Amino acid sequence: MELLTLYLVDDEPIILKGLLETYDWERMGFEVTGWARDGEDALKEIPAKKPDVVLTDVRMKKMDGLALIEKVKAMDLKTNFVVISAYRDFEYARKACQNGALSYLVKPIEEEELERTMSEIYEMCTEKKFKEKNYSLWEKVLLEDKDNFLNQMVGKYLDDAMDEPELAEFFISLSREAEMNHSFAVITAGIDIAQRVVNQKEFDMKQYVLDTSLNKRIREKYQVWTKGTQEGATCYIVDLGESGRVEPLKIILTDLRSELKGDMISALSNSEHGISGLKTAYIQSLNLFEVAAEAGAGLLSMEGKSLPRTKNQYSLDVETQVLGALRKNDIKQIKKAYEKFVYILPEDEDAVRVYLRRLAVRVEFSIEDSYGLIPEMKQSFRNFYDAVDTVNPPKGVNILYQLLLHIIELRSNMEEDTSREYFQDYIPVALNYIRENLQDENLSIGSVSEHVYLNPVYFGRIFKSVMKMPFKRYVQNMRMEKAKELILEDQESIANICVQVGIPNPSYFSQVFKQYTGILPSEYKRSLEA
């Protein structure tokens, strides 16, 4: 348990002696590091000792508590105050609280009231120190890794989660305002997603080689930020400085494509100026990459022209509607969404096959990532990929539609009891892992599902079915039961118990504990002692 430092001030010798010798300060989370009999003497020692909390009488002869608080606050120390007052001094104590005192105690001091107040002060101070520590850590990380931080902010801007003035403020705060007037180009590069169907392992390996090689070559000459795409490709936002020349980037892409033996698909935007131009270049590159992926082109660049858009361009919006209907097992919505998909199909037969294959791949990956593919589904997709290149396009359109309906039927017929029986052996392993890692504040459904080798979403459904409650509530209940056990043992402070159950923020812990038990941790502890 980390003890906070406490300094005592009172001009009545009997009361000061009682404060020093009567109470178990360590039990309340404090260590007395000094004392004084008036405000003047206290003011001489407090700057050197820098106590976390000063417990002071509000009325003293040489310098009263109000003056002491004001003078210490003027020194910009992070010291907190608790004042002691007699009933007749209540207005005085109120003014002290207005000046920054956290609380006050009334003479004669009752031990139970003192313990309650000081325990609350301990929680408040430890929470404050925790936040200050996190802020200092954040500030340190920011200063040491400005590029990574700015990379994240640029990503938010490109995702429309931040507007241009907000991003500009970050550039200025990091002393990077000169870069706001630079020119930017965006490269989007990846391995053809269709190859993922054939050999996932080889696809991942090639994508890794591409990302590593391209990232290294660009960074040798340019400042660059990166951002992933839904298709698994990577966008490289390249700072061209004041030159604005994209030709060196074309050379890098051409050379790398040759080394990868033509497996790479890439797109290069125009050179665009400023922060607004950065987003323009990003959109250009994404649109070009989409066209390049459909055409199987190695490298497409803007060449200073506007991007040509076909009448029937592949629509991510329609794709999202199809995937959404599929997740809901909604046949009516699938029919409507698929009709929209058919409407955007191009006239060229080869292009139709590209669209069909692309939608099938996205559907397959969506199911794999969210629910998991059973063997029958995997075989159905393999059959479709074998057939799509050999049948005429209208037939291919119908085959894919029947495949979507078949998937809905399979998932609808999967009995929950069957799934629960099949996966119930995983639950004891998961529960044991949860018990052993309750102290980990990052314990999540993702980390537990990874431990038992199940998809997180599917694991969550099975867990809820078997345990009759959501994963998050179960973990919270386990943490609260563990906290109750530790309080009952009476060996640890509340602050230390917070850490041991994975909720290091004392204030939040108290809130959760009260929701679970109906009372605060300190009240629960007193109820056990009664």
Task: Look at residue 530 in the predicted model and tell me its pLDDT.
Answer: 61
Distance CA 19, CA 11 (A): 12
- Backbone region of residue 414 per phi and psi (left: phi > 0; alpha: psi in -120 to 50; beta: other values): beta
Task: Look at residue 117 in the predicted model and tell me its pLDDT.
Answer: 86
Task: Look at residue 439 in the predicted model and tell me its pLDDT.
Answer: 92
Angle at 50 between CA 45 and CA 55, to 5 degrees: 75
Distance CA 158, CA 177 (A): 18
**Structural element, H or E, at residue 413:** helix 393-413
Task: For residue 5, list its beta bridge partners.
Answer: 31
Token pair of 221 as six digits: 């000459």
Alpha helices in 452-493 (DSSP H): 456-467, 471-489
Buried b (16+ CB within 10 A) or exposed e, 261-272: eebbbbbbbbbb
Decide: 232 and 195 in contact? Cβ < 8 Å.
no
Task: Look at residue 419 in the predicted model and tell me its pLDDT.
Answer: 52
Nearest C-alpha neighbor of 224 from the set 234, 233, 232: 234
Decide: 322 and 341 in contact? Cβ < 8 Å.
yes
Distance CA 107, CA 294 (A): 81
Task: For residue 85, list its beta bridge partners.
Answer: 106
Distance CA 404, CA 322 (A): 9
Please give the C-alpha separations between residue 452 and each of 414, 426, 467, 501, 530, in angstroms, as whole numbers: 21, 6, 16, 22, 44
- Cα dihedral: 337, 342, 343, 349 (round 10): 160
Question: Which residues are CB-contacts of 477 (< 8 A; sequence separation ≥ 6)?
Answer: 469, 516
Task: Look at residue 52 in the predicted model and tell me its pLDDT.
Answer: 93
Enter the pTM of the model: 0.41
Task: Look at residue 458 in the predicted model and tell me its pLDDT.
Answer: 66
Task: For residue 83, list its beta bridge partners.
Answer: 56, 104
- Backbone region of residue 518 per phi and psi (left: phi > 0; alpha: psi in -120 to 50; beta: other values): left
Task: Look at residue 96 in the predicted model and tell me its pLDDT.
Answer: 65
Token pair of 151 as six digits: 């990379």
Token pair of 118 as six digits: 């000081």
Q: At 125, is the secondary structure helix, strand, or coil?
A: helix
Task: Look at residue 151 in the predicted model and tell me its pLDDT.
Answer: 85
Q: At 106, is the secondary structure helix, strand, or coil?
A: strand
> What's phi and psi for 492, nearest 5 deg?
-125, 155
Task: Look at residue 30 in the predicted model and tell me its pLDDT.
Answer: 92
Instruction: Give pLDDT < 50 ranges for the chain.
Output: 297, 304-311, 415-418
Work out the number of other CB atoms within 10 angstroms of the CB of residue 173: 11
Q: At 514, is the secondary structure helix, strand, or coil?
A: helix
Work out the number of other CB atoms within 10 angstroms of the CB of residue 256: 18
Q: How confident is the model over 407-443, as pLDDT tens digits? A: 888 776 654 444 555 556 678 888 999 999 999 988 9
Q: How confident is the model over 174-207, as pLDDT tens digits? A: 778 888 999 999 999 988 765 655 566 777 788 8
Please give the C-alpha separations between residue 253 and each of 115, 187, 215, 216, 327, in angstroms, as whole numbers: 69, 9, 11, 12, 38
Q: What's the start-to-end Cα distance of the chain, in Å?
A: 24
